[in-house]
Amino acid sequence: MISITEAYVDSVALNAAASKNGRDLVKKNSFPLLCRTEDDTLLFGECKGSGSEPYRCSADFLKPEGPIFRCSCPSRQFPCKHILGMLYAYAGGKPFAVAEVPQDIQDKRDKASLREEKKKEAGATEGSEEKPRRRQTNKSALIKKIVAQLEGIGLADKLLTGIVQSGLGGVDKKAVQMMADQVKQLGNFYIPGIQASCRALLLELQTDGDRESMYTAAIPHLTVLHSLLKKAKEYLERRMADPDVTPMDTASVLEEAIGHAWQLAELKELGLVDNDAALLQLSFRSYFDSSREEFVDEGHWIRLGTERIHMTRTYRPYRAAKYIREEDSQFQLVQIKELFVYPGELNARVRWEDASYCDPNSEDMKMVQSQARCSFSEVVKQVKNHIKNPLSDKHPVLLLAYREIVSVNGQYALVDEQGKQIPLADISYLNHATTSLLPLLKQDDLRNGAMLVMFEHDFQRNALSAQPLSVVTGQGVIRLLY
Amino acid sequence: MSIELLKQLDHEIRRLFVAGSKLASGDVRLAKLLPALGQIGQSSPVFARIAQAVEQTIDPNTERSSAKLLELAVLIRSILYTQGQTELAGVQTPITGTDHFPITSLPFRELNPVLLALTVKGQGRLEVIHQAHKDGIFRDYRLLIPAVTALDESYSEIADYLEASIIPQYGADALPVLQQQFRPDGGRGHARRLQLIHRILGRSGIQLYEHAAATGSLEVRTAAIGLLGHYPEQEPFLLEQADERRKEVRRAALLALSNGYTSKASDRIYGALISKDRELAVEAIRQSSDDSLRRRTIDFAAAMFDQWRTGAKQEEALDQLRTALEALRGHRTTGLLELLRSLLSDPTFFTQDTSQLQETAAQLLLSLDTSEAQAFAVSLKDTNKNKLVDYSLRAAVRSLSPTEVYDQFHGYFAKGAGTAAAKLLSGVFHSLLPSVYARMTDEAGRAEPVVIDPRWGDIFIKADIAELVCRTAHKPNGAIIRYLKSKCQESKTGLGNDVAVNACLALFHIGCEEAPEVLMNDLVPKTRRTIYYLNQAQLLLLGLLPASYANRLASFAEEAIPYESVRKQVAEVADWVRTRPQDEQRGWVQWITSRMF
């Protein structure tokens, strides 16, 4: 059985509130019965709830890599606080009486092993056959969908044209209300990405306060939306003409921007899978994206052995946020057999199913440091080339090798071997200051290190600057964000 | 310069987005830019494209002016994205960094709630910060700057806690941040920063304190003056400040002078005491390290008393006397007993105007804590219609044997509990004797229990002071049991009556065998159906029942309590009673405290 520590239970919990609730149950002595089996593969117990019957919860570690949690409570949050509380009680050294496996759990175990065997048998007979079949797409259904999408794009285009023609100055409450209705209607056309872009524009128009700053904030949304609609229309028309000649676009983020949610199976079919990758998280954050009405847990990772900075994103819809695991900072090195890479450019999004974890050693850290980008002039060129594309992510993240961190007239900057600078600043997109932490760094870390930064172009000052997210030292990653 | 031209274009495009693209056709300001664009366009193809896009936008014959304007905007934006400056003009200076700052990395889930508590308004933040401090989360360096910034917090408990407990734990590492944020003209938060800087820098920051004391805002100034009080050479400056126009500054200066490095400082404080500033001097005299200042205060008080007796400026003299006595709190200055003796043994002192003063004088007398003072206090028990008898009793308990105390004081209850003296004495007994609940749950702690004569029990029974009977009951005794039982039977609301609950607890406490029957027969059935909450004493009481009563209690819960949460509470108690090991009370107390969590 795996060792159950508080940290392990924390990682199992969906979010911080769940682990707090679990801990409180232990504090309140809500477990009249706590048992474990002789071989420690099963923990089970009873927890007092509000009803007359206690909840019966158990944690089955028969397969340590995939423990099975069960509880008789009706909570949709899973693992629920009762299971977490029982695990905390175990981690905290509460006495667990040795007992036999209860009959109901034994039945479930038997059933599971039976299923397993059947699967194996089936696998053995199928193993001789061909590799997994390609999924067939129904062509007429696809064309029907594209027609709907094009119709939606036409609607969005009308909306955009309306705003631009009559001008932002004329947008009043009534107009905004009308637009909100139209944006809502876009939900019927399989273009959630475009709908989110429209909603982002709408949110800017809805902001109360200074009109002038509203105009400044809204205009970039207009241009982005225009480019998106234009590209999407061209692409979908081409695809409608013959889906076989024009396959799904994997060179850019266009499909995702229209609103396609890539499935792992699709990515696999398209060959967007890498084998045996090791990723180290360099930075993490979680924010609420009001245009998507979702929480976004975003991690930036370096893939060992390459210069690539990948991104992970977990979307938690606002209404279901409680029931989806809230991601957290990950300090361990993640070894992945199958790494799915989404179509993308500088920071392609990745996902994985199974992974093993280990603590990074100093060799790994050295490797990461050596993968940092050395030439700032090349980096700047690449970043500018990237962000000038209307649909690209305007805030690319890169790992930079620096000779030193300096201060110029009160502003910080990174300097590379050639003496080239990249100014460091707190960018408005992140809305979380980190540059003020730089003077707290150790002297050694201020020289010849590697720093993960996020870029932003400031139109007002016509300047490209970067915000420090983390510093990679020989000992580990110093996180300036999370 | 082409960048300037692009910016100008961007500006014009913005104008058109605000005004509407239908006004773009033939736009004069855009048209004006065309020649310049064309000129650069000859050498740069990008600008030629721009020129073309501008022409299309302002073309009156164009069909979709909005699309053209958007195209132009996309083009300009794309080009501007490639023009971002990255070189900073100026001299590069390396940052020094620190050499020992401990860096710990906590995960998002732990760090984020604390950061939010420090930076965002809302309720429940203090608890988050308390818990984070307990869990050691503040060790994470990313919280240092937000913690220092939050000193400006208007929720003052948070700022207090940060100042007292959290920022000091960073030690000298907090100094650069504190110094960087400190502004002498700032408010209360900056006064806190100055205090914290002083804790780190001590004398070496003297120039900063001097500067702040001379030029700062009121809050910062008073804080700085307080700090300067630690340094003898600052006395002339402080003496100067003691004459300041503003009261707060004078108060701070007097307090700072209370270190009393020279007689000048004491003179100044004394001067304040005898002037209109006397209120400001009270704290300074209490804190003063100069005992002679307090002796002078005693002489002054005596003089004021004389003046009052002679009848000149009576009100003023009384006020002076009051402040002087207040200033003498907290010290056992020689001569104080004589002063108090002269006040309290003078029959003319006891008038209506001086009632407050009488109390103050009696309190001072008790605080002297000498046998002489206590004997004098006891002797005051019959002065002024027994008004000071409570102080006498306190002094007597400290200085006399229980029997002597009983002999001297039991007579005051002869006419029942209603007399003024009996009420005062009951109050003293209340504060001296822990309640029966506290005794049973160890809440009274390990403070040495006050021993009183057992005969008091009978006195209290006669006077019918149930609470004190419960508090004094130690051994089962016929009269006491009868009395307590009668109290239980008298209760009309069963468990809803606190007196009865305490009486029943006392029955259990003294080991009366009938206690469970009394509880189940006299209290539980009479409990009102409207009871909606059981407090700790009531829970404790029910939990004391022997196991054989579990079923009766459970069926009572089921039948007689309509309110669900109470029914659950009682059912839980019944469960506990049923399964409890013999004579186990400690576990029950723990259970109750955990439920009250």
Domain ranges of chain B: 2-81, 141-287, 335-425, 472-595
Closest partner residue to B66 (CB to CB) among A165, A380, A442 is A165
Instruction: Tell me the pLDDT tens digit for each residue of B289-320.
Output: 777 888 888 888 888 888 877 876 777 788 88
Residue ranges of A 348-377 with Cβ closer than 8 A to chain B: 376
Residue A131: is its pLDDT beyond 60? no
Give the closest residue to A317 by CA, choosing from A276, A261, A269. A261
Residue A359: is its pLDDT beyond 90? no
N residues, chain A: 482
- The overall longest dimension of chain A from CA atoms, in Å, is 76
- How far apart are the C-alpha atoms of B104 and B135, rounded to whole Å? 14
Probe site for chain B from A440, A443, A465, A473 (most B CB atoms < 10 A): A440
- How far apart are the C-alpha atoms of B307 and B324, rounded to whole Å? 14
| pTM: predicted TM-score of the whole model, two decimal places | 0.72
State which fold the A371-479 domain adopts.
OB fold (Dihydrolipoamide Acetyltransferase, E2P) (2.40.50)
**A63 touches B: beta carbon within 8 Å:** no
Q: What are the residues whose beta carbons fall under 8 Å from the beta carbon of A373, sequence distance 6 or more?
A: A307, A379, A398, A399, A400, A401
- Regions of chain B short of the pLDDT cut 50: 1, 596-597
What are the structure tokens assigned to A235, written together?
A: 């692409």
Residue ranges of A 180-209 with Cβ closer than 8 A to chain B: none
More confident residue, A84 or B140: A84
* Rama region for B415: left / alpha / beta (φ>0; ψ in -120 to 50; rest): alpha
Phi and psi at A466, nearest 5°, equal: -135, 145
The mean predicted confidence, pLDDT, of chain B is: 83
- How far apart are the C-alpha atoms of B219 and B248, rounded to whole Å? 9
3-state secondary structure A325-354: CCCCCCCCEEEEEEEEECCCCCCCEEEECC
More confident residue, A451 or B320: A451
Residue A112: is its pLDDT beyond 90? no
Probe site for chain A from B8, B22, B88, B134 (most A CB atoms < 10 A): B88
- Classify residue B350 by its DSSP letter: -
Residues of A whose CB is below 8 A from B597: 27-28
What are the structure tokens assigned to A365, written together?
A: 């850290």
In order, the DSSP letters of B214-257 are HHS-HHHHHHHHHHHTT-GGGHHHHHHHTT-SSHHHHHHHHHHH
Asked if the domains at A262-369 and A371-479 fall in one CATH topology, the answer is yes
- How far apart are the C-alpha atoms of B199 and A190, rounded to whole Å? 63
**B66 touches A: beta carbon within 8 Å:** yes
**What pLDDT band is residue A398 in, cutting at 50, 70 and 90?**
very high
**B187 touches A: beta carbon within 8 Å:** no
Instruction: Tell me the pLDDT tens digit for each residue of A37-59.
Output: 888 888 899 988 877 788 999 98
**A462 touches B: beta carbon within 8 Å:** yes
**CATH assignment, A262-369:** 2.40.50
- Classify residue B545 by its DSSP letter: S
**B149 touches A: beta carbon within 8 Å:** no
pLDDT for the residue A468:
93
Domain ranges of chain A: 6-105, 139-241, 262-369, 371-479
pLDDT for the residue B581:
63
Closest partner residue to B70 (CB to CB) among A164, A327, A413 is A164
Inter-chain contacts counted by CB atoms under 8 A, chains A and B: 195
Chain B nearest CA to A150, separation (Å):
18
Q: A375: part of which helix (H) or strand (E)?
A: none
Q: What angle do CA B132, B136, B138 make, to 5 degrees?
A: 70
Mean pLDDT of A334-343: 88
**A461 touches B: beta carbon within 8 Å:** yes
Contact A440 B101 (CB under 8 A): yes
Residue A129: is its pLDDT beyond 60? no
Instruction: Tell me the pLDDT tens digit for each residue of B526-548.
Output: 777 777 888 888 888 888 888 88
Q: What are the residues whose beta carbons fall under 8 Å from the beta carbon of B127, sequence distance 6 or more?
A: none
Chain A nearest CA to B90, separation (Å):
6
Q: A281: part of which helix (H) or strand (E)?
A: strand A273-289
pLDDT for the residue A226:
92
Between A20-24, A335-339, A361-365, B99-103, the lowest mean confidence (pLDDT) is in B99-103
Residue A413: is its pLDDT beyond 50? yes
Contact A223 B70 (CB under 8 A): yes
- How far apart are the C-alpha atoms of B362 and B594, rounded to whole Å? 42
Is the distance from CB of B222 to CB of B195 less than 8 angstroms? no
- How far apart are the C-alpha atoms of B181 and B190, rounded to whole Å? 8
Contact B98 A463 (CB under 8 A): no
What are the structure tokens assigned to B92, written together?
A: 């590069």
Probe site for chain B from A30, A222, A365, A482 (most B CB atoms < 10 A): A482
**B139 touches A: beta carbon within 8 Å:** no
